[in-house]
Structure 1
Amino acid sequence: MNTHVDLRPVTVERRTAGSGPRVLLLHGLAANDSVWERVLPELPPSYQVWTARLPWRTETIADWGEQPNLRGWLGKALEAVPGGAEVVVAHSMAANVLLDLLDQKNRGGVDSLRQYGIRALVLVSPFYRSRAEEFDWNAISFYLNDFHLIMEEGIRAHSGGRLPDDVRRAMGERVRDRVGPYGWLRFFELYLRTPALQTGRITAPALVLAGEHDFAARPQEGVALAAALPDAVSRVLPGSGHFPMLDAAGEFAAAVSSFVNSTMGLTPPSGPALLTALEHRA
């Protein structure tokens, strides 16, 4: 059995043999590319799907918090896909790093979307507030003192709710401690900067997906982000939490596929349309 752990900060792996649109999947904090395992079989076989393993993944999480430039690492993942990632699907903190990267490139006079060849964005469970005044002491207290609950949510979603509460709680606290204060600060700094994002310059068609029961990145934040982007649609997936790709893989894949097919002018796959999601168009 191969027990080797790849400690390189950034790697990408091709996961499907399709020759269609190149789709790159980016995981969030304290996760890894295993969060996409339930979704991969549900996506159209014509897609060329890639997954990234990023510095804030489970295996290297203790080391990433003091990294000075998370945008640079994410840029390396985008550049590692041969031909460029036409569709980028980013979950949770990765969605915020992606927005930060595109925003900072634009501020530097670079057309960030053109540079990376991005034609469409899918932002999953992003953290977003449109006004600095929305960050009050209660919000900071929640994300600091109850940060372990977000880690527990990931464990719940991965395990399908099969773990006892006390085991899940202990595991969540252990992951929180591995993230550490520096890792938490990097996450929350990204969140605090969202009111300053120049969202009007991020012009690629975007789908913002949220889970109905997400207590970490609340669904109304996804709706607000979609409203702030020039060409975006938001969907709230019923019954899902912060990890809709695990809670409702079929519905998640259907929403992504419908968006990608429509955006890129592809023939949609046969089957019933996703009618259960609540849709909001900005």
Structure 2
Amino acid sequence: MTWRLLAAPGAAPVAGRGRVVAAVHGLADNGSTWQELATRLGAGYRWYAVDAPWSADPDGSLRDGAGPARWLRQALAAVPEPVDILVGHSFGANAVLDHLATRPEPAVRAAVLIAPLVRPEDRAPHPVLIARTRAAIRQVVADGLRARLGPRATQVADDVLAAMVDKAVARVPDGAAEVVLDRLLATPRPALGRVGTPTLVLAGRSDQRLAGVRADSLAVMPAVEVRIHQHHGHFCHITEAAEVAAECAEFLDRVVPAPSPTGPTLEVVA
């Protein structure tokens, strides 16, 4: 895998400056999803992003028992400098969460989980949960497409947009719903109470598919701050990038103080 340093247009990355961030995207997404948030967060951070295995083939890459947490642990060893902060979105947030919950010692100085997927609370039959998860994945893919289109989405005809969604969903393997649900049901809940890494969880009440208000169940973590906003959707790091960046900056300035002032830096990896 290759971690890429995300840089503002025209900026030249300089090693060893700023707080180092490693960012992990969600299902059927890619590392470029972090560009807007990294730009908004601004100087003082060096963002590394990577295209995780589940960007293209979650069914094939997540079937083994260790799954995303083991992949992330191996991937972090390839980051060219020590990581201070882990940031994850959606399924990537769950990879970060599982990584933190299964490590015997603190892995990083802080973490930010954006719209993490939360296991269902009801005890519906497994086929029903699979059907719900499959429908949720389709909607998440559609929401991601609209988020990336931004204002242009209103200029795209409904049938064209639907065809674009169908094409994007077709790249998600049929087994993705089973993989996602299996990982949610396997999340080590008792271990969360032992995660001492300062963690910010951001979710939205309007995101009622796999995340949303159920994110408050993560409040069992002793050093967590869970913030659920009325208007945030599943891709709030894109659609509400300015707000998310401000919240991240406030949290990280408290728990990961910036090093002594240096010149402006903005780097990201995708």
> Any conservation in 2 of the 1:62–1:178 contact (CA below 8 Å)?
no
In structure 2, the residue corresponding to 1:142 is in which secondary structure?
helix
Please report how far the alpha carbon of residue 244 of structure 1 lies from its aligned counterpart in structure 2 after TM superposition.
0.5
Please report how far the alpha carbon of residue 156 of structure 1 lies from its aligned counterpart in structure 2 after TM superposition.
1.1
| Residue 61 of structure 2 corresponds to residue 64 of structure 1 | yes
Please report how far the alpha carbon of residue 104 of structure 1 lies from its aligned counterpart in structure 2 after TM superposition.
3.1
Match of 2:115 among 96, 121, 125: 125
Partner letter of residue 250 of structure 2? S
Root-mean-square deviation (CA, aligned residues, Å) is: 2.5
> Any conservation in 1 of the 2:59–2:174 contact (CA below 8 Å)?
no
Match of 1:13 among 4, 22, 44: 4
In structure 1, the residue corresponding to 2:138 is in which secondary structure?
helix
* Separation of aligned partners in 2, 1:77 and 1:149: 29
* Separation of aligned partners in 2, 1:228 and 1:166: 44
Q: Return closer, same or farther for 1:178/1:102 CA change in 2, 3 Å cut-off.
A: same
What is the match of residue 79 of structure 2? 81
Q: Return closer, same or farther for 1:175/1:206 CA change in 2, 3 Å cut-off.
A: same
* Separation of aligned partners in 2, 1:44 and 1:248: 15
What is the match of residue 268 of structure 2? none
TM-score of the aligned structures, taking structure 1 as reference length: 0.78
Q: Return closer, same or farther for 1:76/1:133 CA change in 2, 3 Å cut-off.
A: same
Match of 1:228 among 205, 220, 227: 220
| Residue 122 of structure 2 corresponds to residue 134 of structure 1 | yes
> Any conservation in 2 of the 1:89–1:121 contact (CA below 8 Å)?
yes
Q: Return closer, same or farther for 1:178/1:231 CA change in 2, 3 Å cut-off.
A: same
In structure 1, the residue corresponding to 2:49 is in which secondary structure?
strand
1:222-258 superposed Cα distances (whole Å, 9 cap, x missing partner) = 2221x11111112234432100111111111111111
Please report how far the alpha carbon of residue 176 of structure 1 lies from its aligned counterpart in structure 2 after TM superposition.
2.9
Partner letter of residue 240 of structure 1? H
In structure 1, the residue corresponding to 2:102 is in which secondary structure?
helix
| Residue 189 of structure 2 corresponds to residue 190 of structure 1 | no
In structure 2, the residue corresponding to 1:210 is in which secondary structure?
strand
Q: Return closer, same or farther for 1:135/1:174 CA change in 2, 3 Å cut-off.
A: farther
1:109-149 superposed Cα distances (whole Å, 9 cap, x missing partner) = x32x2xx3x010101101124xx753424544321345311
Structure 2: state its 5+ residue gaps.
8-12, 260-270
* Separation of aligned partners in 1, 2:28 and 2:6: 21
* Separation of aligned partners in 1, 2:123 and 2:141: 21
Q: Return closer, same or farther for 1:66/1:264 CA change in 2, 3 Å cut-off.
A: closer
What is the match of residue 271 of structure 1? none
TM-score of the aligned structures, taking structure 2 as reference length: 0.81
> Any conservation in 2 of the 1:32–1:57 contact (CA below 8 Å)?
yes
Match of 1:157 among 139, 147, 155: 147
What is the match of residue 172 of structure 2? 179
What is the match of residue 242 of structure 2? 250
Partner letter of residue 61 of structure 2? W
Percent identity among equivalent residues?
29
Please report how far the alpha carbon of residue 168 of structure 1 lies from its aligned counterpart in structure 2 after TM superposition.
3.0
Please report how far the alpha carbon of residue 30 of structure 1 lies from its aligned counterpart in structure 2 after TM superposition.
0.3
* Separation of aligned partners in 1, 2:222 and 2:82: 23
Structure 1: state its 5+ residue gaps.
1-9, 268-282
Q: Tell which has more relative contact order, 1 or 2 (C-alpha 8 A, sep 6+).
A: 2
Please report how far the alpha carbon of residue 56 of structure 1 lies from its aligned counterpart in structure 2 after TM superposition.
1.1
Aligned residues: 247
In structure 2, the residue corresponding to 1:95 is in which secondary structure?
helix
> Any conservation in 2 of the 1:27–1:90 contact (CA below 8 Å)?
yes
Partner letter of residue 183 of structure 2? L
Please report how far the alpha carbon of residue 180 of structure 1 lies from its aligned counterpart in structure 2 after TM superposition.
1.8
In structure 1, the residue corresponding to 2:171 is in which secondary structure?
helix
* Structure 1 runs (4+) greater than 6 angstroms displaced: none
Partner letter of residue 119 of structure 1? R
* Separation of aligned partners in 1, 2:121 and 2:79: 39
In structure 2, the residue corresponding to 1:235 is in which secondary structure?
strand
